[in-house]
Structure 1
Amino acid sequence: MSKINLKNFLISGFCLSTALANARDINVADFGIIPGKDASLPLNELILSVGDEPDVTLIFPKGDYDFYPDRALEKYRAVANHDNSLKRIAFPLMDCKNITINGGDSRFIFHGRIVPFVLDGSSGVTLKNFSIDWKRPFQSELKVVEHSANGKAITVEIDSDEFPYTIEKGQILFDHYDWQDPIATNILFDPKTRSPMHETRDYSLNPRHPMSAKKLDGNRVELTASFSKKLPPVGSVIVTYGSHPTSRLAPAIHASDSKDIIIDNVTVYAAGGMGLIAERCENLKLDHMVVTSTDKRLISTRADATHFIGCKGTIELEHCLFEHMLDDGINVHGAYVIIDEYLGQKNFLCTISHFQQWGLTFAEAGDKIMVMDRSTVLPLFEGTVESVRPINEKHFMVTLENVPAEIPQGPLSMENMTWYPDLVMTHNVIRENRARSALITTKGKVTVTENYFSSQMHGILIEGDNNVWYESGAVEDVTIANNTFVNIGYEGADRYPLYASPLLNDEQRFGDGRYHRNINFTGNSIKSFNGLIAYSNSVEGLNISDNTIELSSDYPAARDFPSIDLHYSDKVTIKGNKFIGFGESGTIRISGDTENVTIEQNENLQQEKANQPAPSK
């Protein structure tokens, strides 16, 4: 038997035992956090007492836990793509290290405008085994049961337990925890599909026009109102939610300036904003995260299921389900900020461009930034940040280490080149929501495989704009392969499974180079009522190959737009695609400014004749 170095053995054993001793499991019931009581204050105090102690697990015995805003911690929070405000917080996970919240399959039920989880300046946070819901969701749902004889009014039925309301002087107000909402922004849903109604824009109720409400028997209310084109069909459901700036105040999970986050087996049934909003975070993994509605409601979150702005490392989604949201499934992007003025001495006065990004941490010392020409959305020169000095939520000063001898003239902006993540999405389902399945604008490597997408608007939108949302991130390496797209675009317009184009306004133009690069759309299965596959504008390196497009009879057939529409693109391959069941071939439109296109071995998919007029939009 070999000799053992007793000293080293004792030291290593001491280190191991110390590490195990330092890892703590805490039963929250021992601190008065039990079902049937407001858990906010004792939970706040427990998390505060743990402080920055590493390797702590808070364990919730299975049950229904209630969290009210009245005694919850309050902090002013700037939340990207939401409305900034003083926030009440249930789980303030700030400056934590390796903390785990294990819900034990419990239901966390929130009341009023409270943010369930805030992760700030933390690392190694794991959230697992619980659901997030609100006793009173942020939207209200009105089932249409009758049309008036004169065609100017409808009768709706409202579940007053789920969506309590008051009628005063002919006006209907929906009662929430400590506020009321009128009928404001709204959309029509089809309860049979649990999705937005086909061509839902035709049925919008205009809240700016005079409206009156009359109480009838039971939970029935007669509404006299102005609709965009048609009365909503009997059986459909009007979904209404608050108006800005009160409709995006309470995301379910807000993560900022944090890293190594895991969300495992967490279900979000409601939120007054997004299910998850992450900004300036590094490495996030979502495994079996679910955003969905309850059996009694059609709607889950007020906005996106997940949203990532200015992150880096790897964002990974696997086996997730996102459905019934009032916005996108996932959005990954950076931010353009406007350069107001070059002040000399390497100093730039900048403005955070979109009001729902005010307070954003755009950059810090050491970050690489690119100065952009806003008129073409193309790069001019790169620099390294020496310092950033915030002035207020909207304005800040950036000092670069080096600048060119002559600063380019014209409208300029900056983007942060350091904070762009890789994205991996596999075996996820995104469906039955308003807007898109996925928005992807990141310079990192993107892999989207074996997913199921079925959304009202585009399937995957690869955009970027420097004039509306100011979401940056011209892509450089995207693979979208072996996914299933079903009935994309039942909004009733030119909505494609893949839509890749920067968004330009009338004062902007394409420059000498293309905006996006290297997009592969291969081996996907598309079930479509409109025969659309892909649209590209300002893309260099586009491969559309081996996709199968089959006719779907779920919505009225529509063939108003080309199956593949190419504009100002270069190095495009369209090969081995099959177009099945439509009765006529799919079409490929190629604009005169598109170069180097290879089309071969496609089945029932052919280029438009040169003299064929383009369909009007």
Structure 2
Amino acid sequence: MRHHRAFARVLAALTLAAAALAGPAAVLPAQADTQDFPIAPGATAATIQQVLTNAKTYTAADPARTATVTFPSGEFRIDAPLKLYDADRITIRGAGQNDGGTLLLTLGDRLNAFDIRDCEDVTLQDLRLDRPNAYLPWTQLTVVDQSNAALGYIDVEVEGHDNPVVEDRYPDLASTMFNPYVNDDGATVSPGLIGFPLDDDGQLTVRFFYPNTGRAAGWRERISGPGRYRLYYTDIASSTFFNGQRIALATAVGEGMTLSLRRNKDIVIERVTNLASNYMGLWSSGMENLTLRDYETYPGPGRLLSSTRDAVHLTTYNRGKLIVDESVFEGSGDDAINFTMISRGGVGVIPGTQKQVTVIATAVEIEGHDSVFREDDPVEIYDLETRRLLGSTTVDKVSATSDTCHLDAPLVCGTVTFTSNIAGMSDGALILNPNATFADVDITNNRFGNLRGHGIRPHGRDVLVSGNDFIDTPAGLLVHTVATNGGEGPINANLTIDNNDFIRQDYRGAIVIGGDAIAGASDSSATGFTITNNRFTGITVPAVRAEHGRGITMTGNDVTPAAGSSIHPIQLGTLTNQPHTVTVRDLDVVDPTMAAVRAGVIVNGGATGVTISDVTGDFRTPAFINNSGLPITYGTVRAPRALGFPGLTPTGWGFAAGPQGWTAGNCVTLAATGGRLQYTPSCADSYMHSPAGLNVAASTVAAVKITLRNPGTATQGRLYFTTAADPTWNATQRIPFTVPAAMTSPQEIVIPVTGTAAWAGTITRLRLDLPDETAAAGIIDVDSITLSQSALPTVTEPSWDFEEDTDGVTIGNVSSWNRTNGDLVLKREADNDSPAPYVLTQNQLDIDASDQRYLKLTFANGSPTMRMNVFFTTMAEPAPDPNKKLTFNLAPSSGPATYYLELSHPALTGAARLNNLRLDFPYVEELAMTSSLEEFALVTDLSVDAVNS
């Protein structure tokens, strides 16, 4: 409870007097002096500003004083920013953030509501911030005719153009807001127009377009009909538009933040609603300790946006703790929360950005000022190309401050000198990673929804993201570990993403750890990522896409992709980016249609130090595919487990190493010889048992496939199985099948299981009763038994193994080649300036492309590079086409490794049939190299291929 100031003084005096009578031990500290500064109902901005100035003067007079500026309920119209400069210990409190509370209406499309600078211990509470539609930095359009979109224009109507209240109308396209203007410095500024079209569900997406400002006659024209215009656009597919679609056409001018904060300390913003910000909802340049609690930013009624860019953007020199808790972020035209060192103008000294460093006698010198560097701060120095840490140093002197160097000032504004040189460092381009970031970040229990960008873009250290909901955000989190010219700073370290819900993400990945494609950045300086106990639902992109970074651990995550999608729930590595030391454990994947998951985990070229274990759930594709070309550590497998994959012992038996746990049951003898299991029955009721404890999730299996040769006349077989719920052999858990008689060569027998009701839960053991109607059935040769994800017959298509000859391929762009021990050895000399060495198959393969999901390749890469291209032509279009290409990574400078390269391309859908393949292998033009190709083949069923391999 707050007392009137005079009464408070009387109470304090009585308290001290009583304490004096009680003796020294009872003396209490004096209470801090505090005073309320009320705002009158309906006060103008000028009047409010005077009250703020009075509060500042009051607290400045005594460091023990605090002040509270109190707004009553009602509406306040703000036609000038409310400024608080060099003030301490002030609380600005309204009567509530909801309807009926305190509403501050900002009257200007480039106007800040609050401008707070160089302050300490300032709190904003219980306020509702808004601006009339007429002062929004965007307008809202509805497409009335998209029939000419292919010609580069659409016809639109401004929403609410006939609203009788002028202030409630959205800006007209003829508004000067959309024209270049002169800023306070006298410079002409482009409004930076950008359009955000909503999808047919009324959601923002990553898609955007630019009005065609280069068109001589202008980018908009009035057409017949009130509020209607013809809008000319660029940089987006014409198929994006449809009649009735809503569009937010925004200005991207970097002015006008609802909350503008510069160089502050100990700022708390709680129970504040921000309905219509301008460029950004909350922008800060330099912050020590910021708390956002119960902060809500979302579009006001009928609006498509809450800001044209980030909802919260924290830049330049940050330190201390950042807390974002129990808040709501919806409708921003870019990211919801972005904390980074990159200034809004993209200039100034930015950690992690390429700079020309000068090494002097005893120190290192760089251009810059204290927006980034402070004396005695530690600084890490990395090599620009490899991201390898060269060493650490300390800031000795900073010659310029942010007061003398504006945020957008050139680098020559100041000089930073460090205390010591780093061994091996020389003049040139380096990455400097300073201490200018929050030391501790907690982003907890928030809701992110319907954004055009990411939920969070964290750039810092010791970050916890926990208990949040990311709903209909294109991506949940983007950790930008590597950027062109080193622009990723500050470099991330120790990020924990725990117990969040990610729902309906559709862009790159729900969580992306990566950045720009920089092949040399192999050391991945960002480190320490823990992703645990998250739930991913209805996603159409990987749950986690790890392109870069070191020390990535994923444990206990659940993934349910959207029906109709086609994803790898976990994707490690990309064409050029390389994550290091990655662990995936306790991943549970549920595929609602058994067609949305391509493989539980895909490990691409470049990923190193990978450990995978315990991939479970309901899906019918391999648990893992290892395309890294490097060994992977496989941990334990718990029940019920998903099926195996190439490179790991699958749920199947090829008998090259003996019976592999199969045992004779009744009236049969078993013998493993020549890579097959010989089954010799001696009565008409023979059978054999699989190993016990299979513990396979029934839903992950579509069929049991047996490749065998039956020389006898008997044709009827039976597959029995037991489950964890019913461990007995019985007629309910039995599936009959038929085998051709008098077979002269092995054939695949497919036994579908999905139509059998008892095939459910966890399968623990199999029993096979092979055809034996007579005791003279003969010896049945069993080549393999596989629990397969596919009930389609395994298609056997051409393979090229070079055991006898070149199998009809053409070899090109090599200095020489030979065939050695079944391998095709390809050599290039150092002076060979031809393009990539290749192997081209014969034409007229005439293979159904829809049946072939993978190209299996066993190759030893003699090149230090990784990039491999697979070109193809089709029977319908046999001419070479550079667009018919798939690109993959192979392990650099590596021995023989087997890869399963997914043949996924728009030209390989429907009725497309392959005509030929051309494999272009990695190379470096000026280097000599020797690579070898052991085999390649087209593969339809990875389960069967894994067993037979």
Query: Shorter-chain-normalised TM-score: which range?
Result: 0.7 to 0.9
Rounded to whole Å, the distance in 2 between the matches of 1:165 and 1:386 is 54
What residue in structure 1 maps to residue 15 of structure 2? none
Rounded to whole Å, the distance in 1 between the matches of 2:533 and 2:423 is 49
Rounded to whole Å, the distance in 1 between the matches of 2:190 and 2:86 is 36
| Residue identity in the other structure for 2:381 | V
> 1:262–1:149: structure 2 CA closer, same or farther, 3 Å change rule?
closer
Q: CA deviation at 1:59?
A: 0.2
SS at match of 1:434: coil
Q: Mapping of 1:132-531 within 5 angstroms?
A: 132-135=129-132, 136-148=135-147, 152=151, 153-158=153-158, 159-160=160-161, 161-165=168-172, 167=174, 173=178, 184-190=193-199, 192-193=201-202, 195-197=203-205, 200-201=207-208, 205-209=211-215, 211-223=219-231, 225=233, 228-230=236-238, 232-243=241-252, 247-309=253-315, 310-334=317-341, 335-336=350-351, 337-342=353-358, 344=360, 348-351=364-367, 361-390=371-400, 392=405, 393-395=409-411, 396-404=414-422, 407-417=425-435, 419-443=437-461, 445-467=462-484, 470-489=487-506, 493=507, 495-505=508-518, 509-511=520-522, 513-530=523-540
Length-normalised TM-score, structure 1? 0.82
Q: CA deviation at 1:600?
A: 2.2
Rounded to whole Å, the distance in 2 between the matches of 1:612 and 1:28 is 70
What residue in structure 1 maps to residue 114 of structure 2? 117
Q: CA deviation at 1:544?
A: 1.9
TM-superposition CA deviations, 1:39-80 (whole Å, max 9, x none): 5653564455446354111001111111213xxxxxxxxxxx
What residue in structure 1 maps to residue 607 of structure 2? 594
> 1:64–1:465: structure 2 CA closer, same or farther, 3 Å change rule?
farther
Q: CA deviation at 1:503?
A: 3.0
Q: How many residues align?
A: 563
SS at match of 1:66: strand
Rounded to whole Å, the distance in 2 between the matches of 1:276 and 1:467 is 27
Q: CA deviation at 1:295?
A: 0.5
CA contact (8 A) 2:56 2:88 kept: no
CA contact (8 A) 2:367 2:416 kept: no
Q: CA deviation at 1:323?
A: 0.4
| Residue identity in the other structure for 1:412 | L
SS at match of 1:124: strand
> 1:381–1:350: structure 2 CA closer, same or farther, 3 Å change rule?
same
| Residue identity in the other structure for 1:425 | I
SS at match of 2:50: helix
> 1:98–1:468: structure 2 CA closer, same or farther, 3 Å change rule?
farther
> 1:411–1:468: structure 2 CA closer, same or farther, 3 Å change rule?
closer
What residue in structure 1 maps to residue 345 of structure 2? none
Rounded to whole Å, the distance in 2 between the matches of 1:183 and 1:538 is 32
Is 2:537 the counterpart of 1:537?
A: no
Q: Structure 1: which 5+ runs fail to align?
A: 70-89, 353-358
CA contact (8 A) 1:252 1:271 kept: yes
Q: Mapping of 1:49-64 within 5 angstroms?
A: 49-50=57-58, 52-53=60-61, 54-64=65-75
What residue in structure 2 maps to residue 102 of structure 1? 93
| Residue identity in the other structure for 1:381 | G
> 1:345–1:214: structure 2 CA closer, same or farther, 3 Å change rule?
same
What residue in structure 2 maps to residue 65 of structure 1? 76
| Residue identity in the other structure for 2:479 | I
What residue in structure 1 maps to residue 125 of structure 2? 128
> 1:287–1:191: structure 2 CA closer, same or farther, 3 Å change rule?
farther
What residue in structure 2 maps to residue 16 of structure 1? 30
Q: CA deviation at 1:144?
A: 1.4
Rounded to whole Å, the distance in 1 between the matches of 2:899 and 2:420 is 53
> 1:116–1:263: structure 2 CA closer, same or farther, 3 Å change rule?
same
**Percent of aligned pairs with the same residue?**
19
Larger radius of gyration between Structure 1 and Structure 2 = 2
Q: CA deviation at 1:37?
A: 6.6
SS at match of 1:42: helix
| Residue identity in the other structure for 1:144 | V
TM-superposition CA deviations, 1:389-448 (whole Å, max 9, x none): 1284222201222334764343123221263331112110011011111112212x2221
| Residue identity in the other structure for 1:372 | Y
Rounded to whole Å, the distance in 2 between the matches of 1:155 and 1:435 is 27
Rounded to whole Å, the distance in 2 between the matches of 1:101 and 1:459 is 33
What residue in structure 1 maps to residue 817 of structure 2? none
Rounded to whole Å, the distance in 1 between the matches of 2:251 and 2:308 is 10
> 1:111–1:566: structure 2 CA closer, same or farther, 3 Å change rule?
same
SS at match of 2:30: helix
